[in-house]
Amino acid sequence: MKNLRTKLSYAFYTFLVAFLFTGCNPRMSKGEDLNQTNILEVQKIKQSITYIKDEQTGLCFAVLNNHTDGFRSTFTIACVPCDSLKNVNVSK
């Protein structure tokens, strides 16, 4: 009886480990190129960034609108050097 219980335990743990390793990358679908997916995500983020300059302080900001769903958006804002925005359209 003890021998059977040990064999069942080994079988269970082997199955559990095999199951865990087969589902390690949920982002990648069959045939999907992960590098291409990352490139597309970067392009989408670049298109969602707006640069603004506060006239009172003279500081420049990069604002990212994440468009999380149809009725609510999340914003991320970071202060950026104004000198680096010479070739970018900056809203005032």
pLDDT in tens, 44-84: 888 888 899 999 999 999 998 877 666 677 788 999 998 88
Q: Which of 67, 45, 56 is nearest to 92 (CA)?
A: 56
The two beta strands, 90-91 and 49-53, are parallel
Task: Name the H helices within 2-90.
Answer: 2-22, 34-48
Please state the rounded mean pLDDT for residues 16-28.
64
More confident residue, 43 or 25: 43
Asked whether the beta carbons of 60 and 85 are under 8 A apart, the reply is yes
Question: Rounded mean pLDDT of the chain?
Answer: 78
Residue 9 DSSP one-character state: H
The two beta strands, 49-53 and 60-65, are antiparallel
